[in-house]
Amino acid sequence: MENIGTKAAQPGWAMEEQFLVDKMQPALALDALLASHPISTPVKDPAQIESIFDTISYKKGASIISMLESFIGHKMLAEGLQLYLGENEFGNAATDDLWAALTKVTKKHNNELDIKGIMDTWTLQAGFPLVSVTLQDGHILATQARFVVCEENVTDPNEPLNTTIGYRWHVPLTYITSEQPHEQAMHWMNLSDEECIHGSGSSTYRPAAELSGAQFQIASDTQFENVVGPNRV
């Protein structure tokens, strides 16, 4: 939120670019380790409180709020935060209270996204997805898997920080086509290992170059225009 306020006061300071360097990249670097932890972590002893408020809590937390803003819009995010603060100004609040406030606002604007369901996949489990994208017979094929810094470190489903979500995420995939190069489309990858986005065989596609979420996207087909090496959405 500090970046949003500063951007409004000083538009020339390029706060979006600073956010990527100061917040998102450090969060990704730490969250790529198997030793990472979820943003929302149960606390059994007061002594644990200080230890869990770290880069993951603050910088990954900021990154997923930025991602949330990218698919509901700044207006609804601001309205939801105002509602959340107003409803909890004289009491304690939990993460679900924020999702509930945002859900009320999005429903008021006829947006039926399951905010809690989407965001739980980002707050209740460690890590973030590597989304690999290919083009097959005119359709986009996307797969997701948890990204770790060492490929040989296969995620153990029985590790202590694992959740019932199984290291799958609700991922907003954004892309543009050659037919509508100035109009960004979005498709949700919903807790699936593989997702197919049906398209026209005559179109070419490329991932939209937005750096608003805690995920990597790699395009591996030459029909994706102007994509060289790793890309993020």
DSSP state string for 154-179: PPPTTSTT--TT-S--EEEEEEEESS
Of the two residues 195 and 154, the one the predictor is more confident about is 195
Per-residue pLDDT tens digits for 72-96: 999 999 999 999 999 999 999 999 9
Q: Is 66 exposed, middle or buried (0-12, 13-18, 19+ CB in 10 A)?
A: buried
49 pLDDT tier (thresholds 50, 70, 90): confident
The residue ranges of every structural domain in the chain are 2-123, 129-231
The pTM assigned to this predicted structure is 0.82
Per-residue pLDDT tens digits for 90-130: 999 999 999 999 999 999 999 999 999 999 999 999 999 99
- CATH code of the region 129-231: 2.60.40.1910
Which letter does DSSP use for residue 9 in this model? H
Q: Rounded distance, CA 128 to CA 147, Å?
A: 6
Looking at domain 2-123, which of 2.40.30.10, 1.10.390.10, 3.20.20.70, 1.20.950.20 is its CATH number? 1.10.390.10
Per-residue pLDDT tens digits for 172-197: 988 877 777 788 888 899 998 888 87
Most confident of 4-13, 199-208, 209-218: 4-13
H-run or E-run covering 81: helix 74-87
